[in-house]
């Protein structure tokens, strides 16, 4: 860890900026330059700022500035830089008065954050700010998205975040945040992972995931998982279609995958008898989920629907050995009590 070269800061960055802005009553000609000059003594890397001038309140005047600022976190006694903290910041100017509102990102992102976009996500013709903060793990980069609105000169951040591993694409479509990725780089996560696209929307004043679609579903297992996510998010017809396709898919070989058989990680393609039982089990479980969904759709209580679906397909607890056979911690894990559970709850 390096020591901060400049003088010890008496006030935290956001506090110091708020004081200076409160004492400024004339427009600042170049906000980027003004902020850069103040932040440079707090940021040992002295990274250039990306300051966006915009009209958040839609009053016809672009008198708001949106940016991410970074501050070294320093151990008081030694002066050693322990980490880097980042803040989402909105500055506005109205009636000869500046105000500053900020959002603290977790220190785990080590100062890595940015404004993804400023767009209307709620349909009220006023734009929201979508922030992205990034955390590098041992093998995988995770991106976390947070959404804020500008209400009455206040930064209001919605409950809920969108978190995804290894994001390969992030965009706004139809007032929804769409994120593609999801692959965990750790070997222990296993080879069964498939990239997916998640959609998030503002609903009931929260940022909620409303859909997950898999880019590929090459085996009955993958199609089953795709169907369970469709079911979880209320897309019944899609779920029923996925379950039917899971029953129909024929796989020539599982050599690209791996299994846990008798407690050991076994490469696919070398144990055809066990893999054949796995294949049949996945298809039987897909039929169970299909029956379960049909029962619930007809008005049957979920608990009774589960009992009925198990009877119709002759559920056997020995299925669990094969349902949990795909190797890797990124896969869902079932026990006898969670056979009919929403897959989103298995993920928690």
Phi, psi of 79 (to 5 degrees): 75, 10
pLDDT (tens digit per residue) in 153-202: 999 999 999 999 999 999 999 999 999 999 999 999 999 999 999 999 99
Residue 222 covered by a domain = no
Say how far apart CA 221 and CA 334 lie, in whole Å. Answer: 14
Give, as one character, the DSSP assignment of residue 57.
Answer: T
Residue 182 covered by a domain = yes
Instruction: State the Rg of the chain over Cα.
Output: 26
> For the chain, what is the domain count?
2
pLDDT (tens digit per residue) in 304-318: 999 999 999 999 999
pLDDT at 83 > cutoff 90: no
Residue 119 covered by a domain = yes
pLDDT (tens digit per residue) in 28-58: 999 999 999 999 999 988 999 999 999 999 9
DSSP state string for 69-129:
EEEEEE-TTT-BEEEEEEEEEEEEEETTEEEEEEEEPPGGGTT-EEEEEEE-SSSSSSPEE
Other CB atoms closer than 10 Å to residue 345's CB: what's the count? 10
Residue 7 covered by a domain = no
The reply to whether 68 and 160 lie within a common domain is: yes
Domain boundary among 216, 236, 269: 216
Domain boundary among 216, 242, 268: 216
The reply to whether 40 and 105 lie within a common domain is: yes
Indicate the average pLDDT of the chain. Answer: 93
Domain boundary among 216, 235, 258: 216
The reply to whether 120 and 90 lie within a common domain is: yes
Say how far apart CA 235 and CA 251 lie, in whole Å. Answer: 26
The reply to whether 109 and 249 lie within a common domain is: no
Residue 5 covered by a domain = no
Query: How many residues are given for the chain?
Result: 348
pLDDT at 3 > cutoff 50: no
245 is in which domain, residue-wise?
227-347
The reply to whether 125 and 238 lie within a common domain is: no
**Beta carbons within 8 Å of 47's beta carbon, 6+ residues apart:** 70
pLDDT at 78 > cutoff 80: no
């Amino acid at each position: 860890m390096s020591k901060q070269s400049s003088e010890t800061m008496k006030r935290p960055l956001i506090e110091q900026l708020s004081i200076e802005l409160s004492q400024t009553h004339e427009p600042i000609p170049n906000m980027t330059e003004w902020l850069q000059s103040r932040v440079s003594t707090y940021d040992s890397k002295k990274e250039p700022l990306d300051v966006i001038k915009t009209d958040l309140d839609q009053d016809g005047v672009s008198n708001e500035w949106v940016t991410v600022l970074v501050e070294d976190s320093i151990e008081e006694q030694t002066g050693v830089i322990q980490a880097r903290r980042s803040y989402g910041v909105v500055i506005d100017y109205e009636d000869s008065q500046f105000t500053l509102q900020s959002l603290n990102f977790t220190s785990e992102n080590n100062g890595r954050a940015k404004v993804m976009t400023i767009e209307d996500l709620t349909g009220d013709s006023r734009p929201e700010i979508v922030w992205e903060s990034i955390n590098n793990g041992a093998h995988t980069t995770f991106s976390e998205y947070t959404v804020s609105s500008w209400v009455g000169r206040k930064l209001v951040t919605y409950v809920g975040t969108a978190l995804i591993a290894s994001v390969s694409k992030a965009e706004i479509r139809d007032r929804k945040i769409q994120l593609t990725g999801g692959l965990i780089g750790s070997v222990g996560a296993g080879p069964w992972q498939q990239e997916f696209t998640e959609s998030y929307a503002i609903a009931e004043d929260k940022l909620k995931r409303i859909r997950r679609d898999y880019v590929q579903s090459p085996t009955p297992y993958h199609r089953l998982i795709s169907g369970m996510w469709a079911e979880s998010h209320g897309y019944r017809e899609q779920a029923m279609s996925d379950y039917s396709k899971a029953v129909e898919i024929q796989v020539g070989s599982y050599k690209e995958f791996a299994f846990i058989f008798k407690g050991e990680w076994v490469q696919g393609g070398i144990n055809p008898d066990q893999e054949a039982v796995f294949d049949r089990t996945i298809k039987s479980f897909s039929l169970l989920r299909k029956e379960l969904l049909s029962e619930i759709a007809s008005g049957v209580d979920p608990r009774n629907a589960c009992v009925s679906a198990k009877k119709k397909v002759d559920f056997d607890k020995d299925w669990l050995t094969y349902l949990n056979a795909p190797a890797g911690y990124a896969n869902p894990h079932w026990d006898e009590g969670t056979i009919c559970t929403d897959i989103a709850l298995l993920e928690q």
